[in-house]
Structure 1
Amino acid sequence: MPDTPPRLLAFAGSLREASFNRRLIPVLAEGAEAAGATVTLVELRDFPLPVYDGDIEAAGMPGNVRRLQALLGEHDGLLVSTPEYNGSMPALVKNTLDWISRPLEDGRSGTTLFAGKVAGIVSASPGPLGGLRSLLVLRDALAKLGLLVVPQQVAVGLAADRLPARGVLEDARMRESVHAVGAAVAAWARGVGRAA
């Protein structure tokens, strides 16, 4: 059987046009691609969702939930770059994960889309800690959904200076570290991903 490249779904947990995490996620994807993965980078602003509400779900699952579920179902893992809001991950990330985990059209739990897959996480912040606390919360949330989160993670502090543009991380050592997170996800996904 040919060695099929692992497919990874990537997104930043921010909608803001000049978001540091939207600037960082292509760097993470670059590391995974250099290690042989195929990366689908999506913008969550293209999948607007209401705050999770069981009444909305009961009235009919939002179409963007189904689109995100289908995307995750086609991939072997996740790459996420998250901001830190008040010492935690932003509501956008939590809400997105909550909606994806809802039941699929065939009745199976949406958590089956996450189970046994691999994830890599990074963060960026204008502060010196780089959003480190958000990574702790996100790591726990992803693990509870059944994902294996690689031990490597990077928090890019002082991001206004280090991330001047999308996909540009000027600190060479930090860029190598972010690439290493992506490469680790690619390696794990190749070993534990779905059978072709």
Structure 2
Amino acid sequence: EYNGSITPLLKNALDWASRPEPGDVPSCFQGKVAALLATSPGALGGLRGLVHVRTILSNLGVVVLPKQKAIPRASQAFDDNGDLVDPAQRQSVGEVAQRLVDVTGKLLA
């Protein structure tokens, strides 16, 4: 999260990737499925930025899953191996990931 929104780098990357070639329609994101996860050093864990990225991705034609996860206090949330310390957080992230796999599988079937 960057001042309550997404980082300028992410916004720029999405903007450039979504630009079509002359005469084409923007399609690189159309029909893709996304799960949103964020973390930040603050108490909200990037939650406010997820609202903005959801809007942007939806506008680009991405199917954005309703369930998302924001992990607060990133410096304390992960151990030295990069694993989440809190078992409840691990389970919640796993549920979001499993939902992404399930929905993507159903759309491809």
TM-score past 0.5 threshold: yes
Letter in 2 for 1:147: V
Gaps of 5+ in 2: none
C-alpha change, 1:170 and 1:93, in structure 2 (3 Å) is same
Does 2:104 match 1:189? Answer: yes
Structure 2 counterpart of 1:98, from 15, 18, 22? 15
Does 2:30 match 1:115? Answer: yes
Gaps of 5+ in 1: 1-83
Structure 2 counterpart of 1:159, from 47, 51, 74? 74
Contact 1:152–1:180 under 8 Å retained in 2: no
Higher strand share: 1
Contact 1:117–1:192 under 8 Å retained in 2: no
**Which TM-score applies when normalising by structure 2?**
0.90
Q: Distance in 2 between matches of 1:149 and 1:165?
A: 31
Q: How many residues align?
A: 109
Match of residue 3 from structure 2: 86
C-alpha change, 1:134 and 1:166, in structure 2 (3 Å) is farther
**Which TM-score applies when normalising by structure 1?**
0.52
Structure 2 counterpart of 1:148, from 57, 63, 66? 63
Contact 2:20–2:27 under 8 Å retained in 1: no
C-alpha change, 1:165 and 1:103, in structure 2 (3 Å) is farther
Structure 1 segments (4+ residues) deviating >4 Å: none
Partner-residue secondary structure (3-state), 2:67: strand
After superposition, the C-alpha distances for 1:48-90 in whole angstroms (9 at most, x for unaligned) are xxxxxxxxxxxxxxxxxxxxxxxxxxxxxxxxxxxx0000000
Amino-acid identity (%): 42
Q: Distance in 1 between matches of 2:84 and 2:35?
A: 17
